[in-house]
Amino acid sequence: MVGCFLAFAKSVPLGSFVLPPAQPILQVQDLAISFGRGAYPATRGLDFSLAPGEVVGLVGESGSGKSVTAYGLMGLLPHGAKVDRGVILWKGQDLALTPPKKRRDLCGRHLGLVFQEPLSALNPVYSIGEQVAEIFRYRAGLSRAKAKAKAIELLGQVGLPDPQGAYASFPHRFSGGMRQRVVIAMAIALSPELIIADEPTTALDPTIAAQIIQLIQNLASQRGAAVLFITHNLRLLTGLAQRILVMYHGLIVEELTSFQDLQHPYTQGLWRALPPEPGLREDRRLFPIPGQAPLPGEEIRGCAFAPRCPKAQDLCRLTPPLLRPLGPNRATRCHLSR
């Protein structure tokens, strides 16, 4: 049965892989973020980069540190969270050394964040149009009339059927899928060079989720933007991401460019736990990963996945594995990897 799963995994390609240009726009080096003055580490030393036009998936269970990473990149960490160490370079510029106002401007203009919960990202007392037009007025300096025209045009571009009507509507009148389109419109309004999409389809049914993913993919390719797509569902990244980073307990445990030859037992477990693809008749059982992911503050001596890993050995419980390169854009953090 397990062989059946791996055969299924091997049959699913990622997006066509293109080697990134030499100069990434974003470089993250040894990024550690914690809550409670270091008591609850959320990320424990992340290293990754994104090239222009590249779509990278960041995947893992709840609590693995994915969303904290997104908010850390944007400079929007919640109260109580802080960057303990590491560097975030935007086109070579260290964001930690950038004055706060300049950083807000830079992130607002060049990085667009698509929030997980569109309802909480939208202000219920302002119309949809006012919220989109505000970006053009205050960030791009357009007149009221021009900002309105741009907002209506953008609402049409993200697939809202009646952009004029949508402009005057309020968030509570929209479905979850329509609200997510509005949030995407706000994220891409200033043509950012990097779109960070934080579980943008979590609250949506599969059909709408597929439309939203297609929309992000189209917008990114039309505008040449890089995308960091955060999700707990590996399957969503099929045909979308050119590279996938798998996170567990605040660390990247595997980097993939294809679903063939998954090396890390956690990534293999994520595959086996996927429900059958809608519309496909797959005769297989689900194999949930046993146990629970460690809590953010939990210190584990060896490999953090050892308590749940079917292959764990004494070495795993004593010594934390390092992330070992396996080839171009391929790496794994497991003592047993080949």
Task: Decide if residue 303 touches ligand SF4 (CB under 6 A).
Answer: yes
Name which of 206 and 290 has its Cβ closer to ligand SF4: 290
CA 191 to chain centre: 18
Task: Decide if residue 77 touches ligand SF4 (CB under 6 A).
Answer: no
Cα separation values, 221 from 16, 132, 194, 227, Å: 13, 22, 11, 10
Interface residue with ligand SF4, options 44, 103, 148, 335 (CB under 6 A): 335
Provide the mask over 144-173, with x wherever binding to ligand SF4 is found by CB under 6 A and - wherever it is not.
Answer: ------------------------------
Q: Could you report how far apart the first and last alpha carbons of the chain are, in Å?
A: 23
Interface residue with ligand SF4, options 65, 129, 296, 321 (CB under 6 A): 321
Q: What is the distance between the alpha carbons of residues 174 and 143, in angstroms, rounded to a whole number?
A: 27
Interface residue with ligand SF4, options 312, 326, 328, 330 (CB under 6 A): 312
Q: What is the distance between the alpha carbons of residues 226 and 61, in angstroms, rounded to a whole number?
A: 23
Cα separation values, 206 from 113, 191, 201, 307, 338, Å: 22, 27, 8, 33, 36
Q: Minimum distance between the CB of residue 269 and ligand SF4, rounded to whole angstroms?
A: 9
Task: Decide if residue 216 touches ligand SF4 (CB under 6 A).
Answer: no
Q: Minimum distance between the CB of residue 245 and ligand SF4, rounded to whole angstroms?
A: 16
Residue 1, both tokens: 């049965």
Q: Minimum distance between the CB of residue 316 and ligand SF4, rounded to whole angstroms?
A: 3
Stretch that binds ligand SF4, among 78-86, 101-109, 166-174, 307-315 (CB under 6 A): 307-315
Helix (H) or strand (E) holding 105: helix 100-110
How many residues bind ligand SF4 (CB under 6 A)? The answer is: 13
Task: Decide if residue 311 touches ligand SF4 (CB under 6 A).
Answer: yes
Say which residues have a Cβ less than 8 Å from residue 279's Cβ, sequence separation at least 6: none
Q: Minimum distance between the CB of residue 337 and ligand SF4, rounded to whole angstroms?
A: 7
Please give the full DSSP string across 204-225, using - where no structure is assigned. Answer: S-HHHHHHHHHHHHHHHHHHT-
Minimal CA–CA distance to 179: which of 208, 138, 150? 208
Place of tokens 């990114």: 220
Stretch that binds ligand SF4, among 42-50, 293-301, 306-314, 323-331 (CB under 6 A): 306-314
Stretch that binds ligand SF4, among 5-13, 133-141, 186-194, 304-312 (CB under 6 A): 304-312
Name which of 173 and 311 has its Cβ closer to ligand SF4: 311
Name which of 67 and 267 has its Cβ closer to ligand SF4: 267
CA 90 to chain centre: 17
**Phi-psi region at 91: left, alpha or beta (left = phi > 0; alpha = psi -120 to 50):** left
- Crossing angle of helices 176-188 and 128-138, in 10° steps, is 10
Q: Minimum distance between the CB of residue 310 and ligand SF4, rounded to whole angstroms?
A: 8
Q: Which of residues 236-275 bind ligand SF4 (CB under 6 A)?
A: 264-265
Which residues here bind ligand SF4, judged by CB under 6 A? 264-265, 303, 305-306, 309, 311-312, 316, 321, 334-336
